[in-house]
Each structure stands twice: as C-alpha cells, then as structure tokens.
A and B are shown apart, each in its own frame.
Chain A
Amino acid sequence: MNATPSSARPEKPRVGLFVTCLVDLMRPSVGFAAVKLLEDAGCIVDVPIQTCCGQPAYNSGDRGTTRDLAMQVIEAFQGYDYVVAPSGSCAGMIKAHYPELFEEDPNWRAKADALAAKTHELTSFLVDVLGVTKVDASFDGAVTYHDSCSGLRELGVKTQPRRLLASVEGLTLVEMKDSDVCCGFGGTFAVKYSDISGAIVEAKTRNIDEAHAPTVLAGDLGCLMNMAGKLSRDGRPIQVRHVAEVLAGMTDEPPIGAAKANAIK
C-alpha cells in the first residue's frame, strides 16, 4: 500500500472527503460517520463541491465524459494532503483508473498520478496510513462483513475493516461463506442484466442469512443497497449498514431500506 511514512505526514492532515454520489444522495449519515472517524483520528476534514467519480460513464464505455468528470475531481481535490472515500469502488476508480484515462496527456497524467497516490478508501486510510488500531464505539451483537469487489481486489481492503470492527465494544464478527464473492451489483449491470444480477444477489443473501448474524456490513453503498433491497424483498429481517456507521458509533439512523418508525436504536 501507499502508506506515507509518518515522518512525512503532516500532524493534522487536511483530508478532502470524496463523499461518493451514492452516499451524498442516498445516505448522508455514512458521510458524517466518515467525517467523525477522520476527525477522531486527528484529520481536518473538508468537503469540496463534488458530483461523481465518473464510474458509470467509464464502465459504459464513455471515455469522454469520464475524462471530463475525472478532471473535475482532480481540480477539486488536488489541494488536500489526502483524499478519502467511504467506498472501495470510488477510491479504486481514482487510484487505479484515473491515471489510465490520461495516457496521452502528460500534463493531466501527472495530476492524475498525484491524486491517485494520495487517495484512499476510508478503512484502509485509517489503518494503513494513520495507523489507527481501535475506534471509540460500541455495537451490541453479531455482524457479518461483505468484502466489496473493487476495494478487495483493486485496493487490498480486507483486514482493515475487520481489524477496526474487532475494537468495537460488544461487537462480534461472524464470517459468512464466500464473503469475497460479488453481490451482483456491478453498477448499471444490476439494471441492464437484472436477471443475472438477481441470481447473484440471491446467492449472496442466502450466505448472509446462513451466517446467522442480525446485521450485515460492507464498505460500499452500492453493494449495500443491492443486498438490503434483496433481503427486504425476501422478507429476511437482517439489518444492513455501512461499516463506517458502526465504526463511528453512529447507528441512530434506521438501517438501509428500513422504515424510520421501526428504527432500532
């Protein structure tokens, strides 16, 4: 990983939070949980005006729009010490794919490389870069954790969230079968190939159910919405949350896809 040596790291690093479009629109509480975790770890957090990392266009073959959006993100975030996203997918886009977009443009390529080098997924930033080993939170009960694909395979996010979860008071982690297998979301795939996506998420939620934990966590809202939507459709009473909410001890909001009135506190 690209952990910055502690000597080179500013004492109070300025972090630009890349909220991600899904968290921005669907579940702002995840963003505030990320802010709390970063501030608790000694960061100064700022949120520049932003829209999306461009992944929907990138994965649909629209390189032009992707490049425009990448340039927008680069310009908005280049001034921070670090860029952190509560998503392996969006952080992976910036870290692994932005440089590829500017192979023929050395000027922008250099900027994309610079941004990629300082961009991190939230839990990996806390553990690998800041050296955080525990969080100040408690959660009553068992959880199971789904490894979202981009975070896992593009950024090596696997042990970091588990390590932090282990420090949450009252929480036990129960591993599900095939936690590292895709949930079938895949962005527009879920809509374009809904039959196949439906079959994949069916297998995933079966594994979640068989873990016998009342809560499932993951680090990407896309996957979480997919799993939550399937669990509620099938009437499986399992709560779904972003891992940041639990790590920040901010679980007042109802779980993903759950009604406000039934919010369990």
Chain B
Amino acid sequence: MTVHSTSPQFKQNAARALNDVQLQKALGNVKQGFIDKRQMAADKLPEFEALRDSARDIKNHTLEHLDLYLESYEEKVKASGGHVHFARDAAEARDIILNICRETNARTVTKGKSMISEEIEINHHLEANGITPVETDLGEYIIQLRNELPSHIIAPAVHLNATQVEEDFRRVHTHLDAKRDLSEPVQLLTEARAVLRERFLAADVGITGANFLVAETGTSIIVTNEGNGDLTQILPKTHIVLASIEKLVPTLEDVSQLLRVLARSATGQELSVYTTFSTGPRRSTDADGPENYHVVILDNGRSSMLGTAFEEMLRCIRCGACMNHCPVYHAVGGHAYGWVYPGPMGAVLTPSLIGVDKAGHLPNASTFCGRCESVCPVRIPLPKLMRHWREREFERHLTPATVRSGLQLWGFFAKRPTLYRFATRAAMGALGFAGRQRGRFSWLPMAKGWTKYRDFPAPQGETFQQRWKRERKGARA
C-alpha cells in the first residue's frame, strides 16, 4: 500500500511552517484557548484526576480482552439489523465502503468528521470511482475545499485564518452573490450551513466516524459540536460507521465515564453539544434513520501493537490535549508531521502505522517536556513511547550516522571517569580561556545547530571536579 506521507521531510516541513506568517498567526489560537479551557474544566471537577485513572483502566481492560469485545459487538450489531465488516488495511476498508456505495447506487456521500477516513484516504477513492464525497464538519469542509489534510485531530482547520476561509468560499461558492459580505466569522458559518443543507438532503450514503463502539449494545457513538454528524447519519438511506479496533468499550456505563474526560480534555466543555448514539438501522417504530447500517472496523496495523509497549497508545480517545499542550506542535502546526495524526499522539502512532523508517523524525522531534503526558485523559506515557521508538531506530541503525558516532565518542569518555576528567579538564580549560573575554561564543565548530539561534555560554574554565579536588580533597588529605 502506498501511503501519502511527507513525514520523512519533517525538518523541511517544519522550517517552512516556521516561516509561514499566516500559519504562525493561526497557531497563536491553539496556545491559549484550548489550554485555559481545559484547565478550567478540570479545576471545576474534583474527581477529574480519579476519572483519568478510571478512563485508563477501562481502556486497558478492553484492550486486554479486545477479541471478546469485538465479537460481542459484532453480534449485537447483527442482532439490531446492521452489518459489521472487518478491514485488515486501508485498501480493504476502501473496497468495502465503495461496494456498499455501489450497492445503493450512491452518487453523493456526506461525511461526518472521521480521522480514520483520512487514514484510508477514502475521499480520493470515492472520487476516482465517480462518487462525490462531501465533508460536513465545518473544518473538514474547509480543508476539503483546499485539498488539504486536517492539521489537528479535533480542529482540522485550526491552521487557517478567517480571511483565508473567505477567499476559499468566494472561489468555490460561485453561485452566490459576489458582493456578499463575509467579513464576520458568523457569515462564513451561515453560508457553509446553507450550502451544506442541500448536500445533506441529496446524499445517498452518510459516513461517520465513531468515538466509541459499545460491545454490550452494538451502539456507535459520535460526539460533535455542529450537529452535522446527526444529519449525516440520519438523512441518507445508508449509514456507514468507519472506526478502528481500539474504539471498543465494554458498556454504556464505561462510555459515560470516558465522555466525562473526553470533552473536558479536548475543548474544556463538560460535554460536547451533541453526543449521538446509533444502534442498527431504523426500526419500524423510529421516526427517522437509515435503512441500512454498516460498521467498517479497521485494523491497519493496530493489532500488531497489542502485547507490545505501544499497546498503551491504543488507549487514545483522540481528544487532542497532547497537541494543544505541545511546544513543538505550537511551533510548527500539524501539517509538518506529514501524515494524518500530528502532535505527540501522532509522533507515537504514526511510526506504528506507516513505519518508523518513514516517520522516524516524529518521535525524535520532542524535547520530552512531558506536558502531553501530564494532560492525557487516559494517561498514555507519550514521552516514554517516543523514547521506545528512538530505541527501535537505534537498534535498527536508523539513527543518523553523525549522531551515532557522536554518541559513541561521548560514551567512550563517559564510561572512563579518569580519562574523562583529564579530557574535560583540558577541553574546558581551552574553551574557558577562549571565551573569557566575551563570556560566550557566537560560533563554535560542530555546534552550528546551537549557534544558529543562540550564543553558547563560555565555561568558567576549571571543572568542578578539578576545583573540588584542589580545594577540598587536597585540604582534607
């Protein structure tokens, strides 16, 4: 399978992002809003930390018995009149979805927000087969117009400013009055709503993601703030739920616990505006709903994470708190990561899904500040898992040769304390002497990466161990 990823060019992507004035302006919004709102929501709920423990435990329990819960879920969906399809990889998932669309002679498909649909690149596949996919989440709609990937897992268009959206709407919505006023964000929203309303009514199939799949009832659950997900799954004749295996949760009680940490961690809301439960197709007594209900459950490499250190990553409930709190994400935004999942969760998940040979930069591009782990609602030790990837890279000799040889040289001395003392004494003596006038270096050989952006403070000259020996040990002996 070919995966369209620019993760191998992470450094170039990052450099471009850092020089993108529009992007940098948009990223300013991530830094403050999400963080403050989450903090306020957490502060208002005394049991928030205990709920995080409980959320972690629920997901761990589910992953330990995932086979059983998948089976139970499948049975319940079938019993409610729906269909479950298991897809080993993206290609299988695409084929399954295309076949369902063809069975219903679908011409247009509306879509609720789904990161899995980005992962399997379903839009391109549908288009290539004469079916028009229409994103209905406002952010997703905007980036579809721009032919971009989401740059954030819950705020796909967070990299854009309102003026850019206005330009896109004017470019695409040519049937509307060219002189209309779109200077206010609410006007953009109203316009998108009007345009999308027609698409909702015309759609033959609706595809949504799922935040949770409930094993005890066969229910799929989505949380949204726009209500677009409801219209996507209720109006068309066929509803396809597209989800990955780790979305399973045993019971509705478990879901209600996870929901309490999800929205708070994501947007600081107590609950998202809509939390929608779907179980099977429309029953005879239902006022509305789809005639056909399909669930496509994607593996795409996840089952091979089970039983490894990376199993913990499968607890992720996609709240986005890790990227909202990440200084690297704040600096470069989501597109620099080069694939579907950005930020710390992407830095761990992406190498699992597309290979560490392609995504090796991502787990390395972290200061290990630990802020992601400190806010993760299911307590995924993200820095530890990034470090695991670095270890795999080191074992497989994927670590750059310069880094390896530098480490080797340093390790040689660090493991020989006596030699180390002599060598460092000489080196610091020389460096201290050279830097004593200005107290810093604006350029040093082999330290270009450092001195490109900052001076290198000069050492004091004598090492601590040298001075200690002279002043204390000598005196005592």
Contacts and interface: CB of A to CB of B under 8 A. Distances in A.
Interface residues of A, number: 72
Contact of A57 (B392, B407, B460): B407
B8 interface: no
B26 interface: no
B455 A229 contact: yes
A27 B455 CA distance: 16
A153 B373 CA distance: 9
Please report whether the interface of chain A is mostly helix, strand, loop or mixed according to DSSP.
helix
A188 B424 contact: no
Contacts of A23: 464
A51 B413 contact: yes
Most buried by A among B330, B442, B460: B460
B331 interface: yes
Contacts of A49: 417-418, 421, 465
B365 A193 contact: yes
Contact of A31 (B403, B428, B468): B468
Nearest to A186: B367
A131 to B, nearest CB: 26
A153 B366 contact: no
Contact of B439 (A60, A198, A259): A259
A257 B420 CA distance: 24
Nearest to A22: B459
A14 B343 CA distance: 44
B438 to A, nearest CB: 5
Interface residues of B, number: 69
Given A201-B454, A257-B457, A260-B439, A51 B420 contact: yes
Interface string B17-57: 01000000000000000000000000000000000000000
B450 A190 contact: yes
Interface string A175-206: 00000111011111111111111111111000
A228 to B, nearest CB: 5
A4 interface: no
A225 B456 contact: yes
B87 interface: no
Given A50-B417, A63-B391, A256-B457, A194 B464 contact: no
B390 A57 contact: no
Contacts of A199: 18, 331-332
B410 A28 contact: no
B455 A149 contact: no
A166 interface: no
A153 B217 CA distance: 40
Contacts of B449: 190-192, 194
B139 interface: no
Nearest to A149: B369
Nearest to A258: B439
Contacts of A68: 411, 415
B460 A253 contact: yes
A261 interface: yes
B364 interface: yes
A79 interface: no
Nearest to A154: B370
Interface string B418-447: 101100100110000000111110100001
Interface string B461-477: 01111111000100000
A61 interface: yes
A259 B436 CA distance: 6
Contacts of B447: 191
A58 interface: yes
B424 A186 contact: no
Contacts of A189: 364-368
B364 A192 contact: yes
Contacts of A225: 456-457
Interface in A243-265: 253-254, 256-262
Contact of B450 (A51, A65, A202, A229): A229
B303 interface: no
B141 to A, nearest CB: 30
A59 B390 contact: yes
Given A26-B457, A253-B460, A60 B399 contact: yes
A25 B459 contact: yes
Contacts of A191: 447, 449-450
B225 interface: no
B78 interface: no
A56 B410 contact: yes
Given A28-B462, A154-B370, A254-B439, 13 more contacts: A24-B465, A26-B460, A28-B468, A32-B467, A57-B407, A60-B403, A61-B389, A65-B414, A65-B415, A149-B367, A186-B367, A201-B453, A257-B439
10 contacts: A28-B466, A28-B467, A57-B411, A61-B387, A61-B390, A194-B453, A253-B460, A258-B439, A259-B437, A262-B439
Give the 4 A-B residue pairs with the shortest CB-CB distance, closest first: A186-B367, A198-B453, A229-B454, A61-B394
Interface of B: 11, 14-15, 18, 327-328, 330-332, 364-371, 373-374, 387, 389-395, 399, 403, 407, 410-411, 413-415, 417-418, 420-421, 424, 427-428, 436-440, 442, 447-450, 452-460, 462-468, 472
